[in-house]
Amino acid sequence: MAILVKRSLVGVLGLFMLLASFSIQPGVSEAAGKVDEIIAEAKKHMGTPYQWGGTTPGGFDCSGFIQYTFKKAGEELPRTAAEQYGVGKSVSKSDLRKGDLVFFSHGSGIQHNGIYIGNGQFIHSSTSKGVIISQLDDPYYWGDRYVGAKRVIANEDKAQEAVKSQELEPLPEGEYHDVEDDYWAYNSISELADQKIMSGYGDSTFKPSTSITRAEAAAYLTNALDLSHDGSSKDFHDVNGDTEHVEAIQAVNEAGIITGDKDDNFMPEDPLTRQHMAVIFYRAFELNGVTYDKEFIDVSEDHPYAKHIHALAGSGITTGNSNNEFEPRRETTRAHFAVFLERALER
């Protein structure tokens, strides 16, 4: 009898565990586990020396280190940092999660990358110290060279989304939980909110560090310049009647301010880079002929957008960073866009 009872309990327990396994969201714990696996593997190689072209534990370059650690977890990535920047989903700095790839530039183009490990830190193979952990916002180096981030692990951990989705108290229009009066871009954000040019989100946040999309830029410029569309806009393959800000997209296109690519795509959800922002402002605020008597160390004379960037600086809309860099390929944040737009409107 005791044996039968014991077997029954084992059977019930097994059935309970089986049912419990089906209650777990598919892909969630798997993705979280994969990210942990990647970070654990990366940390095993702390101190491994830097080696140009290195892809093994005998010596890594930056992208070789990332390719190796991700492959250990069953994730295939391209070889170079520039190629790795071309995969995955773009994510803003404020939305970084463990396992995201972070990218940097010392001039033009993507020249370095690492793996975000949380708490503002990333692990990477540096040329001077090999595999180390650094601060993403290091004001003396990495902070000014940050370009953007990509998420390459699918089915990201939903638990982190739940933490970020806590209900916030509604605030009066134009006030935001994440933009206090001592925030560096507070005046510009508040001024544009008062003029109904830029707005925040339904939870009374502005998300100042989030990258602005091309569609959002179209909407804010349409508001700022009081544009309207007359039906002459060309058709974009990736824009239809359900696309957010579709009328603004048509308006800026008709005004010749933001156009699509050679294949007639507008790319509405793509982050707006600083160099493309310069081109857009050059057109929108008629900066043709404006010169700049200085130079940015990362914008050469033969840079394809040199005249646009120099005109932006010459007009006082931008000044570059403390290292005299413009960071042309860096994604434009909502806060920076607000500052640039307010300055442009005050010219």
**Residue 236 located in a structural domain:** yes
Active site residue 62: yes
Shared domain for 108 and 198, answered yes or no, is no
Residue 322 has pLDDT above 90, yes or no: no
Domain range enclosing 261: 185-346
pLDDT tens per residue, range 152-177: 986 544 444 443 545 678 899 889 98
321 and 192 within one domain: yes
Q: Which of 112, 276, 308, 310 is catalytic?
A: 112
67 and 202 assigned to the same domain: no
Higher pLDDT, 107 or 59: 59
Q: Which pLDDT does position 183 carry in this prediction?
A: 87
Strand ranges inside the chain, DSSP E = 55-56, 59-60, 89-91, 101-104, 112-118, 121-126, 130-135, 146-151
CATH number at residue 118: 3.90.1720.10
pLDDT at 232: 82
31 lies in some domain: yes
CA distance 245 to 251: 10
Can 124 be counted among the known catalytic residues?
Answer: yes
Within a domain: 19: no
Give the mean model confidence (pLDDT) for residues 72-82. Answer: 92
Q: Do both 51 and 145 map to the same domain?
A: yes
The reply to whether 303 and 198 lie within a common domain is yes
Quote the pLDDT of residue 139: 83
Tens-digit pLDDT profile for residues 188-230: 999 999 999 999 998 899 988 888 999 999 999 999 999 998 8
325 vs 204: CA distance, rounded Å: 33
pLDDT at 167: 66
* First CA to last CA distance, the chain: 91
Please check whether residue 265 lies inside any domain of the structure: yes
Q: Is residue 173 part of a domain?
A: no
Provide mean pLDDT across the span 129-135.
95
Please give the Cα distance from 337 to 198 (Å, whole number).
10
Spatial separation of the C-alpha atoms in residues 79 and 60, rounded to whole Å: 12
Task: Report the number of distinct structural domains present in the chain.
Answer: 2
Instruction: Note if the pTM is more than 0.85.
Output: no
Q: Cβ(77)–Cβ(87) under 8 Å? A: yes
The whole-number pLDDT of residue 31 equals 55
Percent of the chain with pLDDT over 70: 87
Establish if 204 belongs to a structural domain: yes
Residue 1 lies in a domain: no
Residue range 266-286: mean pLDDT, rounded: 94
For residue 192, the one-letter residue type is: L
Is residue 9 over pLDDT 70?
Answer: no
Catalytic residue among 124, 245, 276, 310: 124
Same domain, 152 and 206: no
Same domain membership, residue 299 and residue 227: yes
From residue 80, alpha-carbon distances to 1, 30, 133, 134, 306 in Å are 66, 27, 20, 21, 26
208 and 148 in a common domain? no
Cβ–Cβ < 8 Å for 6, 14: no
